[in-house]
Amino acid sequence: MDPLKNKQNSSFSTPVCVHNPHLDSLKDDILYHFSLGTETHDLPAMFGDVKFVCVGGSPWRMKAFIEYIAAELEMEDPKSEYPNICAGTDRYAMYKVGPVLSVSHGMGIPSIAIMLHELIKLLYHAQCKDVTIIRIGTSGGIGLEPGTVVVTKQSVDATFQPKFEQVILGKTVVRNTDLDQNLAEELLQCSKELDQFETVIGNTMCTLDFYEGQARLDGAFCSYSEKDKQDYLIKAREAGVCNIEMESSVFSAMCKLSGLRAAVVCVTLLDRLKGDQLMSSHEVLNSFQKRPQILVGCFIKKQLMAKAVTS
Task: Please give the annotated binding residues for substrate, written as ranges.
Answer: 214, 216
Instruction: Give the residue with the Cβ less far from ligand URA, 67 or 245.
Output: 245
Reduced to 3 states, what is the DSSP secondary structure of residue 42? coil
Question: Which residues, listed in sequence order, are joined to residue 267 by a DSSP beta bridge?
Answer: 138, 149
Instruction: Give the residue with the Cβ less far from ligand URA, 38 or 268.
Output: 268
Q: Does 245 bind ligand URA (CB under 6 A)?
A: yes
Q: Does 66 bind ligand URA (CB under 6 A)?
A: no
User: What single DSSP character describes residue 131?
Assistant: -
Instruction: Give the residue with the Cβ less far from ligand URA, 137 or 297.
Output: 137
Q: Does 246 bind ligand URA (CB under 6 A)?
A: yes
Q: What's the closest the beta carbon of residue 121 comes to ligand URA, in angstroms?
A: 27
**Start-to-end CA span in the chain (Å):** 20
Residues, the chain: 311
Q: Which residues contact 133 (CB under 8 A, 6 or more apart)?
A: 52, 53, 54, 55, 255, 260, 261, 262, 263
Which range binds ligand URA by CB under 6 A, 117-125, 135-143, 254-262, 291-299?
Answer: 135-143
Q: Does 139 bind ligand URA (CB under 6 A)?
A: yes
Which range binds ligand URA by CB under 6 A, 133-141, 159-167, 174-182, 295-303?
Answer: 133-141
Q: Does 111 bind ligand URA (CB under 6 A)?
A: no
Binding positions for phosphate: 91, 135-138
Alpha helices in the chain (DSSP H): 43-47, 59-72, 109-125, 181-194, 226-238, 248-257, 282-310
Distance, in Å, from the CA atom of 201 to the CA atom of 198, rounded to the nearest integer, reads: 11
Distance, in Å, from the CA atom of 200 to the CA atom of 33, rounded to the nearest integer, reads: 34
- With contact defined as beta carbons under 8 Å apart, do 236 and 142 qualify? yes
Considering only residues 181 to 210 of the shown chain, the ones binding ligand URA according to CB under 6 A are 210
Q: What's the closest the beta carbon of residue 268 comes to ligand URA, in angstroms?
A: 8
Q: Which residues contact 233 (CB under 8 A, 6 or more apart)?
A: 142, 215, 272, 273
Considering only residues 258 to 297 of the shown chain, the ones binding ligand URA according to CB under 6 A are 269
Q: Does 148 bind ligand URA (CB under 6 A)?
A: no
The contact mask relative to ligand URA for 211-240 (x = CB under 6 A, - = no) is ---x--------------------------
- With contact defined as beta carbons under 8 Å apart, do 194 and 302 qualify? no
Q: Does 68 bind ligand URA (CB under 6 A)?
A: no
| Interface positions with ligand URA (CB under 6 A) | 138-140, 210, 214, 244-246, 269
